[in-house]
């Protein structure tokens, strides 16, 4: 039995004031739901978020980490630092990092290793662009992303994979439940072929998830929750998505 998981990726949004408001609402409104819940603010808001979520069921994660060890690496944040401030999760390989920072599957594999060594649970993001889907290459792209990141380390503790079709992120376009289910089933098969404990690995869907479409996505047998962007910045909307998963 895979416990549902809902993760809010706040991307590059937030101020001390908005973080306090949003988390106070979420912590107050949380009803001890049977889904696991996490929020991933920017690095600069992690410690504040950990403090606000203390003694609540909401965990905190980062949106990235360095593959490098602590040291003279200006601008980097090492995985053990993220664990040290009280984070449980880290998102890796998000398409925005692949696109804007040129992150390769090799770099993402190294970040997965660093995260695991620091005791963080990684959320590995994969997904195809619109052009790749239209060229009927979606499965090939996702298979390469999975094998590039995991073939040398199939036994990462707490691994979660998020399928996020790039064409559905922040666009209001959502993969249909059937499209999402088909890709999730494919991902589960690919994970098994790589030697990952696929049956027990949670697979999240991401891409314009909202309160209004969450339930039909979560009804699919291989969709175990969501990685939520824009809707995670509105407490009532995010809580409704959590409620849809429970």
Active site residues: 94, 164
CA neighbours within 13 Å on the CB side: how many for 42?
Answer: 10
CA neighbours within 13 Å on the CB side: how many for 52?
Answer: 22
Nearer to ligand G3H, 146 or 231 (CB): 231
Residue of the chain from 181, 214, 229, 242 that contacts ligand G3H (CB under 6 A) = 229
The answer to whether 137 is a known ligand-binding residue is no
Does 212 engage in binding with ligand G3H (CB under 6 A)?
Answer: no
Does 92 engage in binding with ligand G3H (CB under 6 A)?
Answer: no
Residue of the chain from 6, 9, 65, 167 that contacts ligand G3H (CB under 6 A) = 9
Residue of the chain from 103, 164, 224, 237 that contacts ligand G3H (CB under 6 A) = 164
3-state secondary structure of 223: coil
Residues 2-17 as b/e (b if ≥16 CB within 10 A, e otherwise) read eebbbbbbbbebbeee
Assess contact for 144 and 159: CB atoms under 8 A.
Answer: no
Place of tokens 């998963």: 245
Residue of the chain from 4, 14, 206, 225 that contacts ligand G3H (CB under 6 A) = 206
Give dist(CA 89, CA 6) in Å, integer. Answer: 12
Does 170 engage in binding with ligand G3H (CB under 6 A)?
Answer: yes
Does 237 engage in binding with ligand G3H (CB under 6 A)?
Answer: no
Does 169 engage in binding with ligand G3H (CB under 6 A)?
Answer: yes
Residue 82: count other Cβ atoms within 10 Å of its Cβ.
27
Residues found near ligand G3H in the complex (CB under 6 A): 9, 94, 164, 169-170, 206-209, 227-231
Summarize the annotated binding site as residue ranges. Answer: 9-11, 170, 208, 229-230
């Amino acid at each position: 039995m895979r416990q549902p998981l809902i993760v809010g990726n706040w991307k590059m949004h937030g101020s001390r004031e908005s973080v306090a408001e949003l988390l106070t609402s979420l912590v107050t409104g949380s009803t001890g739901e049977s889904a696991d819940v996490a929020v991933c603010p920017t690095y600069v808001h992690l410690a504040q978020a950990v403090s606000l979520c203390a003694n609540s069921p909401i965990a905190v994660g980062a949106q990235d980490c360095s593959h490098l060890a602590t040291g003279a690496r200006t601008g980097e944040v090492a995985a053990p630092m993220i664990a040290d401030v009280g984070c449980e999760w880290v998102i890796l390989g998000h398409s925005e990092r692949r696109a804007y920072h040129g992150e390769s599957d090799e770099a993402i594999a190294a970040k997965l290793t660093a995260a695991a060594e620091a005791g963080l649970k990684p959320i590995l993001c994969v997904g195809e662009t619109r052009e790749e889907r239209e060229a009927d290459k979606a499965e090939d792209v996702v298979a390469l992303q999975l094998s590039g990141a995991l073939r040398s380390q199939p036994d990462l503790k707490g691994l979660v994979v998020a399928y996020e079709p790039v064409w559905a992120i922040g666009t209001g376009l959502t993969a249909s439940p059937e499209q999402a289910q088909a890709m999730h089933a494919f991902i589960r098969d690919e994970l098994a072929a790589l030697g990952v404990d696929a049956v027990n690995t949670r697979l999240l869907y991401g891409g314009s998830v909202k309160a209004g479409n969450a339930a039909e996505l979560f009804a699919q047998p291989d969709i175990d929750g969501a990685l939520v962007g824009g809707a995670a910045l509105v407490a009532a909307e995010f809580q409704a998505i959590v409620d849809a998963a429970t």
